[in-house]
Structure 1
Amino acid sequence: MSEQTAVLVLIDIASGSRLWGFSRYIFGKFAFRGVPGLVFCKILGSGFNGGFSTKPSLTKQGFFCVFDTKQNAEIFQQTSPTVNAYRSHANEFFIATLYAYSSRGSWSGFSINNLSSPPESGPIASLTRASIRPFKAVQFWAKAKPAEQAIKEASGSILTAGLGEAPYFRQATFTIWENLKSIDAYAQSGAHLSAIKAAYGENYFSESMFTRFKVGSASGVWQGKYVQIP
């Protein structure tokens, strides 16, 4: 069976491209129609300053795609007019190639295949997303802010992004860590652990997906920080 490959792009829209950026939320999905091997795609916004916030960012956004094979993902990154358009309209541009090794749950009914073996070393990426039940939103966001602060203070954190399909109710987070030890230390302690226990114990989500990836490659700038892997 072919290995599914995910591609994540994050950008901060250049000052002269704000109208183009806003149009992505309305027309962006049409640019992905007919892309060879594409099995899943989401256009994403971001929280204020690219973090986890009920206040949306006016400039930071991106997209998350899954392809049926590594080859189709590579072709998309190298030749797609869509990738080039995001890059040309960006003040900051970041792109990552990812291979899921652990995933549970779904995103709009789509589940990622766990075809990659767990990594023995090297950077780990994590994507968590959830559809928040409206009557649980206040409790969820009360837990989210301390968890965000904990990421900033965590050892081994390389990159963090607060993302979402829609403000307040359909949220996602993407992070990259130096290794498995550092992400486990964050996930199993403090504010994050408290938030996860509350989410499951109090049934915050109508749908959720939690995925960990091996990082095939990652490069670019996000929140003023340059990242290059490998």
Structure 2
Amino acid sequence: MSTDIIASFHLVRYAGVDAMRHMAFDRPVLRGTGGLRFWRLLGTGRGRSMSLGADLRRWALFAVWDGEPALERFLARSPIAARWRDEAEESWHVRLAPLASRGGWGGADPLGDTVDRPAPRGPVAVLTRASIRPRRLVAFYRSVPDVDRLLGGQDGCLASVGIGEWPLARQATFSLWRDEASVHRYAYQGSAHRAVIRRVRREGWYSEELFARFVPFGAEGTWDGRDPLRPGERDGAAPGPVAH
């Protein structure tokens, strides 16, 4: 994978809420990082799905790199990665080999060079994000509890976190699944989820959306005290309703 585009996801928890300052100070550093073709610094929700509450101690970075060497240089040399190692209370990092992507983020598909590939056997990571139209915010957040209740025990979902650029209106979910079949069951066989997606399309909830799938590999660290990709440490979690 050394010459192919790859992505990465980093979930970092700090001891205090003063970590919010990193959202501002890290931006110029990321803008100047070689080989980094796309990135978003993201806040996180409390718990495992989209919600109106924010966890001010936990932050995320989604990044797309020109190749794995670019990511390795960042992890070895960047002051951001050094702070993760030295100051974070907990952090989890994963490399992501793109399988498929459709839609946009900020007017472009950050994985636009990706050709749809069949998923190999094993875990799959899914990133869904949407810009919610202001007039549809109430309907969107009212839909979250029903989907969460249905999926609280969803077989095959290893972990999930709600993430976002802006409070309320620009939301995303990063989730890990046991295999491609688990993703398919969630997306297409759950009646509550199908009903939400029909409303999304019929009522035009989103002005922009992105759905991407990856093979996760090379995970390091812990996420809520465990590595969800490590056999024996997996449990269920429920992602929020973002259309595919």
Q: Give % identity.
A: 32
Measure, in 1, the Cα distance between the counterparts of 2:145 and 2:224.
18
Amino acid in structure 1 at the alignment position of 2:183: I
TM-score (norm. length: structure 2): 0.85
Higher strand share: 1
Evaluate the alpha carbon distance shift between residue 151 and residue 88 of structure 1 in structure 2; reply closer, same or farther with a 3 A threshold. farther
Measure, in 1, the Cα distance between the counterparts of 2:85 and 2:49.
21
- Give the deviation of 1:145 after TM superposition: 2.6
Amino acid in structure 1 at the alignment position of 2:46: F
Report the equivalent of 2:189: 189
Determine if the alignment matches structure 1 residue 91 to structure 2 residue 89: yes
CA deviations over 1:33-61 (Å, ceiling 9, x no partner): 22111111111001123531111112111
1:1-230 to 2 correspondence within 5 Å? 2-15=3-16, 18-19=17-18, 21-111=19-109, 112=111, 113-115=113-115, 117-190=117-190, 191-228=192-229
Measure, in 1, the Cα distance between the counterparts of 2:40 and 2:29.
12
Instruction: Tell which deviates more after alignment, 22-31 or 125-134.
Output: 22-31
Count of residue correspondences: 226
Gaps of 5+ in 1: none
Evaluate the alpha carbon distance shift between residue 81 and residue 228 of structure 1 in structure 2; reply closer, same or farther with a 3 A threshold. farther
Instruction: Tell which deviates more after alignment, 167-176 or 218-227.
Output: 218-227
Gaps of 5+ in 2: 232-244
Measure, in 2, the Cα distance between the counterparts of 1:79 and 1:223.
26
Measure, in 1, the Cα distance between the counterparts of 2:60 and 2:152.
21
Measure, in 1, the Cα distance between the counterparts of 2:65 and 2:20.
26
TM-score (norm. length: structure 1): 0.90
Report the equivalent of 2:236: none
